[in-house]
Each structure stands twice: as structure tokens, then as C-alpha cells.
A and B are shown apart, each in its own frame.
Chain A
Amino acid sequence: MEAVLRMPRQFAIRLRTSPVLLALAVMPMLVILILVAALIWISFQTGVVGTPKAIYTLKNYEDILGDPFVLKVFWNTLIFTLATTFTALALGLPIAWLTERTTLPGKGLVYTIMTLGLLIPGIYTAMGWTFIAHVRIGFLNRWLMDVFALDQGPINIATPVGMGLVQGLNLTALAFILTAQMFRAMNPSLEEAAKIHGMSFVGTMRRITLPLAFPAILAAMIYMLTIGIATFDVPAIIGLGNRIYMLSTYVYLKANPPDSGLPQHGVTAALGTVMIVLALLLTWWYSQVLRQGHRYEVVTGKGYRPALLNLGGWSVCAWGLIAFYFLATKLIPLLLIAYAAFTPYLAPPSWEMLGKLSLASFYNLNWDLFWRGLYNTVLLVITVPVITLLLAFSISWLIVRSRSRMRYVLEFGAFLPHALPEIIMAIGALLLALFMLPKFIPLYGSVWLIAIVYVISRLAFATRALNSSLLQIHKELEEAAYTAGLSPVRTSWRILVPLLRPTLMSIWIWSAILVYRELTVAVFLISQESITLPAVIWSYWFSGAINQAAAVTLLMTLVLTPLILIFWWFGRRQLMPES
């Protein structure tokens, strides 16, 4: 690493005279610091926050930490987060193991299904599962009530555990991606030795495989816990109407009261600060686990080839599990959303209702709103990945090529968005735009405010990916370009960008799809002019127009399909193991 980071003096001088890259790298760091500072500052205010009339106090913290209801919200969030993590790992981990360590047929299809799982918005699964397993309207509950003559549906997803199950299904693909690589790289020699000594399959799994996989599983678990704390879409769709509040939805209600109350920005900021602390603690734990991961390194040299377990007839069961995942998270929710989109009013599926199917929801749709949402979403999909790439490239280049100590600051700053839940950055941006910036920068209600938060929140992933790729490109190529008289910017454009093209494309498409499906930031920051497509769905759902919400979801899925296909086409080579 040091050898790579070391560079000739002449090259270092060039770096110092490259203010464009430096400015691009420093700018997002400043924005992150300002967002966090604004949040903390407002958390100590009551009255007219962000103005000289504000009163500085600890009351917001006293209110949230002394209120039993808020403690119940924390408890709900804990249960929800644990249920989410458990479900995601319970499904994702076996599928990852089956794909990487067995002779399961059709592995390409598994990767396609799991990629789809990463890309489908959470709001989609949440809506679908409301139609499947809601205690009163879920068709599964209704079927069970009919078959067993029950008074009430036996399954209730409107609980912290139920919502955790749905969110866990959403995150199964992530659990798969986070653990598949570990199973791919695991040395089978210890397992083979156990087999030679007569240890059973279950014993080997318990005493060899799982302990070896433990750090990666723990890291995946912590990562999902961090996501779970701030998840908005599933708790909002399923929980809000049923009075089950999580931290994210409670923060949302404090910022956008559904009752007669005024927005409590000080309380919102205080809750946000508590969430930052929780997320930072989890991220610290995550980094500790990753740091100690080398103790479990078992990969050998070039000749290493993991032996695959012959599944034989068990392949059918394995595919049964994968099919269950696909049906539960994709196909059935999609069919029910389509049903809701084509019914004139929402009612349980029946022959009578099937006879009433029509295009009424599409006809009655506010098309102006849909086009506005689509326009803003497309604008964000085009601009956010480009800006993210530009900033991430500048940061990564300085981190990898610079000798300055400042590179450590940049590295920390680039990782910070990973620790900050998007909801926190959204609240910080809202408060900043509303109370501190309006006299200088008219960002409130603008789509660019959303774009800034999107860019910042994707920097951690983008810089991590670019750092790895940049380290693999030897600096001699750049030195040759400098010798030939090219400026740092032109050198980057002519030498590095072509070499980094696969990584850049992968980051671009990944960011574009995440931007396309993102809801949490949007619900806090949207306005008439800046509404996005997921926010259109949310606004329909939240105001009770469920058929129209389903209609927009269906249209959004249609628009998303080409993007997913492009992502799959570009991404499959990186995700899939070499055959």
C-alpha cells in the first residue's frame, strides 16, 4: 500500500497544482459537516428554530429520552431491526451457500433473481405484503380464516416483527450479496478434513463452516442493523395507519404532523442526533469486525479451487427455497399490485371484483403529477450518478495518489455517509434549506436539494469501489502522461477514465437505480416542483388513494425494467463467479 501511495516528487508537485480535483473532493466533505452541524445545532433549540428568536435548551433531549412513548418507539425499532436482520440472513445466507458451495443447477438464474431483489423498491414489497398478509385484508389471512373457520386472520404483519419480516425479505438480496463472496473465497480444506474424520454434514456446518463464516455474517448483520434503524418505507406503509411507530416514522411525524401539531424541528433534530450516535456505534463495531476478519483468512494461492457439495436430489428443495423467495418478494406482490391498479376501488380479490377490472385508476390518475414525478426522477437519475462519479473520482484519486496527510481526512469523510442514515441527512438538509440558507441559496423545494443528499449518501460506496480499482492501475501510466505534458485533468480523462470504465459504469448504473427507487430522502424534501416518482406513490398511498398508488407503482416498474436489464447486463460479470 505504502509503495503504491509513494510517488515521485515531480508528480507530487503536480498534485498540489490540481485545485479542480481538490475542490471537488473537499466540497462534499463540507456539505456533510454542515448537514451534521445544522442538525446538532437545531437539536438544542426550541421556539422559532434557526432564527435569533430560538431558545437554546436541552429540552428536546429531555422530551425524547424522558417520554415513555419514545422509549416504546425505540423498543419497536429494536424488535423491527432484529426481525429484519434475522429474516434477511435466514433466507439470504442459505441461498448464498447453496449458490457458492454446492452443485445447485441454474446459478445464473439465482444471481438474476437476487439482482432483481436488490433493485426492486421497498415500497413495492410493503404494498404487496399488505395485500398478502394484512390481518384483515390480506388474502392469505382471508384464505386461512375461510379454511379453518377463524374469526381473525392468524398472521399479522402490522407488528414490529411482521414489518421486520417484510423488510427482511427486502434485504435478503443484500444478505446474499454480502455473504456469497465469503462462501466463494472460503477454503474447503478444513471441511474436507472434517469429512475425512467422519464428521457429519450438520457437525461440519456447525463446527467448521459457520465459525469460519462468522466474521462475514456478523459484518452483514451489523450492516443490516444500521439500515434497519433508519428504514422508512416498510414502517410507513404498514405501520403508520396501525399506530406502530419506528424511529424513522416517528421522526417523519414530528417533521410532518398528521394532527393539529406544528412541526417539531428541535425534537426531530434531537432524534436525528440520537440516530447518528447509534449508527456511528454500529459502524464502529462493523469496522472492528472487518479489521479482525484477517484472523479467519483461509484462502490459499492460485491453485485454490473450492470443492462443491453434490446436492443431488436436494436441488429440488434448494430451488424450492429460492422459488419461495421469488414468489414472496416479487411475483405475488407484483400480481396484487396489478390487481389493485386495475380495480375501481380496493376490495379483496373475488370473481365479482375480477369482473369489475378496468383502467379507471389509470384514467383518473393525475398525469401532470406523474410526468412531473417522472421528469424529476429522470433528471436525478441522469445527474446524480455523474456528479457522484466526478466527486468520488476526485476523492479516490487524492486518497490513492496523494502523499498529503489530508488524504486520511478525505478517506474518513468519504466513509462518513455510510454511517449516516439517509433520513438524517434529509432532515439536516431540510432544516438547513429552510432556516439557514434561504437568504443565500434558494434550495428549499428544489430538486437540487434532493440531488445533493443523494450524491452525498452514495459517495461512500462509490469511493470504496474506485479506491480498489485505482490501486490496481500503476502510476507509471500517469507519469508518462505528465512527462508528455498533459495536465492532471486531461491525464485523468485520457488515461484513468478509459481504464476505470467498467468500475465507473458499474457505479453509474448502481447509483442510477438506487436514485430511481429512493423514497426516504424524497418524502422529507419534496415540493410541488421537485416531487419524484416514489414520492408520488407515497403521496397517493398516504392520502388513501391506494388504487392510484398501485397504478403508479406498476408504471414505475415498467419504466424501471430497461434500467434493471442494463444493470444486469453490465453487473452480472462482476456479481457472478467465473465459470
Chain B
Amino acid sequence: MTRNLRRSVGLWIAVIVAGCLGFCIPASDAAAAEAGRGATLADLVSKAKKETTLRAQWGADTLDGGPGLKKILAAMNKKYGLNLQPSFTPGANMQGMMAKITRELAAGQPASSDVYFGNPQSMLQAMENQPLMPMDWRALLERKFLPEPGFDPIVPGNIGVAMASTLVGVIYNSNLVKGNDIPRKLEDLMNPKWKGKIASTPYAAGFREFAMPELLGKEKIVDFVKKFSKHIGGLIRCGEMDRLTSGEFLMLALACGDQEVNIAERKGIPLGYAIMQDATISHTRYGAVPKNSRAPNAAALFIAFLHTAEGQKLMWDIDGLDFHLYPESNQKKKLDAAKAKGAKVVISSPQWLNKNKHYDATQKELEKILRGEVS
């Protein structure tokens, strides 16, 4: 290479690098990180007026995805006199989204989702990695919760608040599974006629809780899941109801909750739901604001709004979910009915999972078995 050529290459590399450096990201917005501390609802409303867009990313079925976010935001804008625009992108599952937000925070990037919607498992992850903004949630909510012994709806460290609950069970195609075929116990799922026709979830929904000592215990569930893994036809995410209505799978066991069936019943979609007699788990849904949210005030307001009577009704209408710690809750009626039948009921929360020290390892073991990595 000639000297001039080398000089030119060197010069252009320097120009390219210098050009790249010119795009340096501004330092993370410290003001945003402080948004929730000591804020009142009025503060949030006032600050949210400066935030134009609320970006949300979660499963396309969660809160009815984009159309659901639009409806909720429209009602919220009306209530608080805002003009926030929704921006929804379907995303990974709840734990996957928590991992993504944590990774983005560590890399100094803004969160993919301004507001986070998660489950107890993801909130447990958040307790370890702290990617969520602590907020005085009780001060921000309009209403007080009904008391529930052994269950605190606020995540330790005030990093999230429970917003909804749903009962774990089996979802089935009601055109193809009828009468006595509807499973009542876990063992019913092992009926040879269902071989290859049942789906489970890649994250071992339900089984991971059933494996805790307070319920059926690890040994029993690991044994069952080993047999069950050879019996199922595949793994789908909770919410993939098209794969049940199409007949690709006849059942999803265990599902994350009954919200899809609540909606399906209203629309005449052939889906049914069965709670297992072995035990009953109430899954909890949490709202939180990532530390790297670009609209932290709007995000907190979104969560606060979903706790109002109007917000709870809207959530029930669009996603079949509401929170059993409010008196008008439909889920409360279901939970009370399960308790009245004498079922052993556990309300899943990060606090409860944290108490079960082997929970995380058990979930990972069950996931490996379901994926077919361990026979």
C-alpha cells in the first residue's frame, strides 16, 4: 500500500470514529429516575402533561395489546385532562421483558417499555436486580385495598404494585373437550387419548408454584412433569388461544390464568376453563415503572388509573382481569367460591416466592424437563 493510500485510510478512519463520537448519548435522565419519589397523584398529573407518549411492550394478548392500551389511555386522558399518545409493540413474556429492561438499564439505554406489567416471578427478578423505580404506591392510589391475610400487594422496596389477579388452571377447546373429558385433577391430563394434543408453557406456569412445599411439593411435581413432558405436543405461551381454537392443541396445561376464557365466553369463542382440585393458585399481575422509563410519570399514572373503579372495569372488559382486593371484583367472587369449596388457595406474590428458597432452581429444572432437555 502506498504512503498516500495509508494516510488516506488513517484519515478516514479518524473521521469515521470522530463522527461516531459526535453521536454520544446524553447521560441518563436523572430527573426521570426521581419521578416517583414522594410524588402525589397531582404531581404525577402535572408532570405527565409534559410527557407526550406512553410506550408499552408486553404480550400482544396482555391488556388486549395495542387496542387495549389505546382504550385505557383514552379513558385516562379524559379523567386526568392529558393528551398522551399510546405506542404499543408486542413483546416477550413477562420475565423476558423484565430481563430486557434490566439489560437495557445496565447498558445505559432507555427502557423498551415505559410501563411494566409483570407477574410475581418477574417482580422477584426485579427485587434482585432493582431495575424498577421505587414509588409510594399507597399514596398514589385513590382507593384502599381490602385486607388479605398473608398477602401484601406492594412489592418490597415499593418497586411495584399488584393490579389484578387470576386463577391458574387448564384452558381447553370446548368444542373438542366436553363433559367427563374436562380435566379435574392433574392426573386427568395423562389420559392416553390426549397424548400429543396438550400444550404446556415454556416457563412451567402453575407447575412451578405447585412444586412448592406449601402445595404439592417438588418431588411429586417433578415426577409428574417428567411424565407429562413426554405426553404433551408442544410449548406455547399463555395467551396463544388461536392455537387452542384451531384445534392444534386441545388444552393448555397449566395456563397462567383464566382471563382469556373470560373474554372468549363473551365473544362466543369455544374455550373453557377448569381449576384443578389438587390445589388453587391465584396469580397476581403487577404494575411498575422502569428506572429508565422515558415517561415515568405517565407510566405511574397509568398504573394508578387501573386501580380506580373505572380502570378496574375497563381492565375486566378488555382483558378479563381485575383485582380481588377490590370489593366489586369478579375475580374475588371466583376466589371466594374456590375457598368455599375447601380448596387450598395460595396467592402468588414475590414475597411468597422469596420465602421458597428453591423456587428459582425448581422453575429452571421444570422448564428444562418441559423443553425435553432432561428426560
Contacts and interface: CB of A to CB of B under 8 A. Distances in A.
Contacts of B245: 345-347
Interface string A85-100: 0000000000000000
Interface in B214-267: 233-237, 239-243, 245-249, 267
Interface stretch (A22-30, A170-178, A468-476): A22-30
A260 B121 contact: yes
B197 interface: yes
Contacts of B241: 345, 544
B337 interface: no
Given A242-B233, A344-B267, A366-B67, A439 B109 contact: no
Contacts of B23: 440-442
A269 to B, nearest CB: 15
| Interface hub of A134, A369, A372, A404 (most chain B Cβ within 10 A) | A369
A143 to B, nearest CB: 14
B195 to A, nearest CB: 10
A262 B25 CA distance: 26
A243 B246 contact: no
Given A137-B246, A546-B243, A434 B371 contact: no
Contacts of B87: 368, 372, 528
A345 B242 contact: yes
B90 interface: yes
Contacts of B12: 19, 22-23, 26-27
B354 interface: no
B242 A262 contact: no
A256 interface: yes
B199 A241 contact: yes
Contact of A438 (B13, B21, B109): B109
Interface in B1-52: 1-2, 4-5, 8-9, 11-13, 15-16, 20-21, 23-25
B86 A527 contact: no
Contacts of A105: none
Contacts of B109: 434, 438, 444-445
B118 to A, nearest CB: 12
A257 interface: yes
A257 B93 CA distance: 9
Interface string A11-48: 00000110100110011001000000000000000001
A539 interface: yes
Interface in B29-84: 55, 57, 59-61, 65-67, 70
B311 interface: no
B60 A404 contact: no
B14 to A, nearest CB: 11
Interface in A325-357: 344-348
Contacts of A19: 8, 11-12
Contacts of B246: 137, 346-348, 546
A440 B21 contact: yes
A548 B242 CA distance: 10
Contact of B363 (A258, A260, A444): A260
Interface string A248-286: 000000001111111100000000000000000000000
B373 interface: yes
B95 interface: yes
Contact of B367 (A242, A259, A539): A259
Given A258-B202, A368-B86, A30 B59 contact: no
B269 interface: yes
A405 B2 CA distance: 10
Contacts of B92: 256, 258
Given A136-B197, A368-B86, A544 B247 contact: no
A136 B102 CA distance: 39
Given A22-B8, A434-B109, A539 B93 contact: no
B248 A369 contact: no
B303 interface: no
A61 interface: no
A435 interface: yes
B204 interface: yes
A561 B43 CA distance: 51
B12 to A, nearest CB: 4
Interface residues of A, number: 65
A540 B236 contact: no
A242 B234 contact: yes
A364 interface: yes
Nearest to B65: A366
Contacts, number: 202
A396 interface: no
A496 interface: no
Contact of B60 (A241, A439, A540): A540
Interface in B103-138: 103-104, 106-110, 112-113, 121, 125
A359 interface: no
Interface string A505-534: 000000000000000000000111001000
B356 interface: no
Interface in B143-157: none
Interface in A431-450: 434-435, 437-442, 444-445
Interface string A63-101: 000000100000000000000000000000000000000
Given A27-B16, A48-B106, A259-B95, A440 B24 contact: yes
A137 B236 contact: no
B302 interface: no
A561 to B, nearest CB: 26
A16 B4 CA distance: 7
A260 B89 contact: no
A366 to B, nearest CB: 3
A248 B297 CA distance: 40
B372 A545 contact: no
A263 B103 contact: yes
Contacts of B204: 259
A409 to B, nearest CB: 9
B5 A30 contact: no
A166 B363 CA distance: 35
Contact of A441 (B20, B360, B371): B20
Nearest to A15: B5
Given A366-B66, A440-B20, A528-B112, A404 B373 contact: no
A368 B84 CA distance: 14
A548 B24 contact: no
Contact of A30 (B16, B93, B202): B16
Contact of B93 (A136, A152, A258, A404): A258
B88 interface: yes
| Interface hub of B199, B234, B363 (most chain A Cβ within 10 A) | B234
Contacts of B9: 22, 26
B40 to A, nearest CB: 29
Interface of B: 1-2, 4-5, 8-9, 11-13, 15-16, 20-21, 23-25, 55, 57, 59-61, 65-67, 70, 86-93, 95-96, 99, 102-104, 106-110, 112-113, 121, 125, 196-197, 199, 202-204, 233-237, 239-243, 245-249, 267, 269, 360, 363-364, 367, 371-373
20 contacts: A19-B8, A19-B11, A27-B16, A136-B197, A137-B246, A243-B235, A345-B269, A346-B243, A346-B245, A368-B88, A369-B90, A405-B1, A437-B20, A440-B20, A444-B109, A528-B113, A540-B90, A542-B237, A543-B60, A544-B237
Q: Which 7 A-B pairs have the closest CB atoms?
A: A366-B66, A544-B240, A23-B12, A543-B60, A539-B90, A346-B246, A346-B242
Interface of A: 16-17, 19, 22-23, 26-27, 30, 48, 69, 134, 136-137, 152, 158, 241-243, 256-263, 344-348, 364-369, 372, 404-406, 434-435, 437-442, 444-445, 526-528, 531, 536, 539-540, 542-548
